[in-house]
Amino acid sequence: MKELVIVSGKGGTGKTTITAALAALAPNPLIADCDVDAPNLHLLLGPEIQSTEEFIEAKVAVINPELCTGCGACEVACKFDAISPSFQVDPIMCEGCGVCFISCPADAIEMHERLSGYIYASETNYGPMAHALLLAGESNSGKLVTRVRELASNLAKKHGRKLILIDGPPGIACAAISAITGASAGLVVTEPTVPAIHDLQRVLELFQHFNMPVMVLTNKADLNIQKAQEIEEYCHQKGIPVVGELNYDPIMYKAVVAGRPIVEYAPSNMLSKGLKAIWKKVEQQLDAFQEA
Ligand code: SF4
Ligand code: SF4
């Protein structure tokens, strides 16, 4: 089974709209939205949820007022200002560290599990999909990404899918590392701006660190042709394949508003034709990486 993770150095490069288009072009893919902090892929693929699982990874302190003596030790101990002077825990501020639990001389504090999000197994017109929702204010996105990937792998086996397309988080933080680690290859979507090129280099270093094959796609290339050429030259020097360039076209936003992948919304548009050619190159490159 191949796992292609589509990432970007920063948000706003068009990573998710491109992932949606590739999901519509790929033959029988399993789709995973691992951009759990800002999941958007469902808006373009219209998944119908088949099953829901709770994601419980965090804890929250709960004070039993019947046992509390009002000594104040917990309020002093909490470095997150989550305990009020009247010894109430603010569940949003509480990081679940357990220091108050250890500090309480009256054993008045319990650490309860708390719901951090949901994990979904869904069906779409393009294939089964694993995705998630991280509740507001919750952390642990790296663990949630791992859970979504586990579900994606199980669904792929169950449905006999040989390719998992992962919409990964932007950047190089914990969630991005969780999405990249162990995948077959990466596709980095970038754009020709100075910050985007800087972020591209950091993401490529991440792939290099994990000794993973990677390819690059420049979106909105015509917004700065010189910078697009710089990206191509940089990748060429590093031996990283560039699978193509896409020009800026506001029709992409119309497809997003319509909630459909661009290759279905406007199949004869130049963007769609470009994406079809890019998908062929991505497939060839995946085969080449596997043979290498
Ligand atoms: S668990 Fe940690 S963050 Fe939460 S109230 Fe206790 S000391 Fe504060
Ligand atoms: S440390 Fe325990 S007993 Fe003291 S104020 Fe906090 S909850 Fe109450």
Whether 58 is in the pocket of ligand 1, judged by its Cβ within 6 Å, is: no
The answer, yes or no, to whether any atom of ligand 1 lies below 6 A from the CB of 32, is no
Say if ligand 2 is within 6 A of residue 108 CB.
yes
- In the chain, the DSSP E strands lie at 2-8, 29-33, 48-63, 109-124, 127-134, 163-167, 185-190, 214-218, 242-245
Q: Which ligand 2 atom is the nearest neighbour of the CA of 69? A: 3
Tell me the C-alpha distance between 20 and 51, whole Å: 22
pLDDT in tens, 239-287: 999 999 999 999 999 999 999 999 999 999 999 999 999 999 999 999 9
For the Cβ of 101 lying below 6 angstroms from any atom of ligand 2, the answer is no
pLDDT for 58: 87
* Residue ranges of the chain with per-residue pLDDT less than 70: none
* Closest-CA residue to 16 (of 219, 222, 277, 274): 219
C-alpha 13/C-alpha 248 separation (Å) is 11
Ligand 2 atom with the shortest distance to the CA of 67: 3
In what helix (H) or strand (E) does residue 73 lie, and over which residues does it extend?
helix 73-77
Q: Which ligand is nearest to the CA of 90?
A: 1
Report the C-alpha gap between 58 and 53 in whole angstroms: 15
Alpha helices in 11-67 (DSSP H): 15-25, 41-45
CA of 239 relative to ligand 2 center, distance in Å = 61
pLDDT of 10 reads 80
Tens digit of each residue's pLDDT (9 = 90 or more) over 188-224: 999 999 988 899 999 999 999 999 999 999 999 999 9
Query: How far is 176 from 170, CA to CA, in rounded Å?
Result: 7
Q: How far is the CA of 108 from the centre of ligand 1 (A)?
A: 13
Question: Regarding the domain delimited by 56-115, which CATH topology (the fold level of the hierarchy) does it fall under?
Answer: Alpha-Beta Plaits (3.30.70)
Choice from 62, 63, 99, 102 to test ligand 2 binding pocket (greatest atom count within 8 A of CB)? 63
pLDDT for 143 = 92
Q: Measured from the CB, is residue 78 less than 6 Å from ligand 2?
A: no
Instruction: Kindly tell me the burial class for residue 58, based on how many C-beta atoms sit within 10 Å of its own C-beta (0-12, 13-18, 19 or more).
Output: buried
173 and 152 Cβ atoms separated by less than 8 Å: no
Write down the mean pLDDT value for the chain: 94
Residue 159: what pLDDT?
95
pLDDT for res 20: 97
pLDDT score for 50: 97
Structure tokens at 1: 């089974």
**Ligand 1 centroid from CA 132, angstroms:** 26
Q: From the CA of 83, how far away is ligand 2's center (Å)?
A: 10
- On the CB side of 190, CA atoms within 13 Å amount to 34
pTM here is 0.88
Sorted by where each begins, the domain ranges of the chain are 2-46+125-291, 56-115
Q: What is the CATH number of domain 2-46+125-291?
A: 3.40.50.300
**Ligand 1: distance of its center to the CA of 223 in Å?**
49
Q: Which two tokens stand for residue 177?
A: 């590392």
Alpha carbons 117 and 114: distance in angstroms, whole number: 9
Ligand 1 midpoint to CA 91 (Å): 9
